[in-house]
Amino acid sequence: MKRVRQVTQVRPVPKKTSSTEAGVRLQKLISEAGVASRRAAEQLIVDGRVMVNGKAVRELGTRADPATDDIRVDGRRLPRPERRYLLMYKPRGYVSTRSDPEQRPTVIELLERARIRGYFYPVGRLDYDSDGLLILTNDGSFAERLMHPRYGLDRTYEARVRGVPDAKTLDRLRKGIPLDGERTQPADVNIVHVKEGQSTPQAIVEVVLREGRNRQVRRMFEAVGHPVLRLTRVRIGSIGIGILKPGEIRDLAPREIASLVKTKDARPKTKARAR
């Protein structure tokens, strides 16, 4: 059956969560797999009839990752979930993690409100104060490839910064800024628009990164004296925002998934020594 790509917009109303553990409760996984009801699944666990990675589990509340863990009931393996690849326009005011120790709203809560069931995790980060594109999936291998530095997947941002960086500053940003004792990788940095008419002019700057350090764009501009006022991730690889609005989610098309995994190894090739 053909999957509908566009999901009804989810209004970004903050919601608290108390879970800080990884994975999904076993009784929920068993119930969603159609093996037993939630209550019957709890009894299966207590009776020692459920095994995770070869070990019997008897404690209710035990969690597992259905994408990576071997979960069995009476020796029969629980069906692995269908691989799914989601594109979200993350609103500001959400953390891109499955849970948050500060009890801030998470992108997983947006999935729940959209009635998207299953164990998904974000591919990479997009900080609390930023908005824009974020991929979520239940395919660990896919996520690992997209996040691995060797493939240098382009991530394009639009940053509204205080002041207008001059040519010398733009060159510094392109060549790399020292952060935590290590220089950032070369980036594409270009001014798109300058907003005049204020006490301090502001510039809209497009930044293309091929690595993903924590709050990297904000820290780079802070280092050159042009703090970021607003940051949006507008593109991942060749995939843009399109018609998505903040809080909306859709499935990636097969051609989009293929374009992401076809990214070539970006590491410089070294010549073999002559013998």
Domain 24-77: CATH superfamily is RNA-binding S4 domain (3.10.290.10)
Instruction: Name residue, tokens 């119930």.
Output: 31
Taking alpha carbons only, the member of 235, 245, 257 closest to residue 7 is 245
Architecture of domain 85-149+242-261: 2-Layer Sandwich (3.30)
Whole-number Å distance between alpha carbons of 76 and 79 = 9
| Residue range(s) of every CATH 3.30.70.1560 domain in the chain | 154-236
Please compute the mean of the pLDDT values over residues 171-190 and round it to a whole number.
Answer: 96
pLDDT of residue 265: 58
pLDDT of residue 116: 92
Per-chain mean pLDDT for the chain: 87
pLDDT of residue 219: 97
Over 70: is that where the pLDDT of 51 sits? yes
For residues 28 and 64, the answer to whether their CB atoms sit within 8 Å is no
pLDDT band at residue 73 under the 50/70/90 scheme? very high
Whole-number Å distance between alpha carbons of 31 and 218 = 43
pLDDT of residue 174: 97
For residues 179 and 137, the answer to whether their CB atoms sit within 8 Å is no
Identify the residue with better confidence: 89 or 97: 89
Residue 99 structure tokens: 């849970």
| Residue range(s) of every CATH 3.10.290.10 domain in the chain | 24-77
pLDDT of residue 18: 33
Please compute the mean of the pLDDT values over residues 32-42 and round it to a whole number.
Answer: 83
**Assigned CATH topology for domain 154-236:** Alpha-Beta Plaits (3.30.70)
Residues designated as active site: 127
Whole-number Å distance between alpha carbons of 146 and 157 = 17
Over 90: is that where the pLDDT of 121 sits? no
pLDDT of residue 122: 93
| Residue range(s) of every CATH 3.30.70.580 domain in the chain | 85-149+242-261
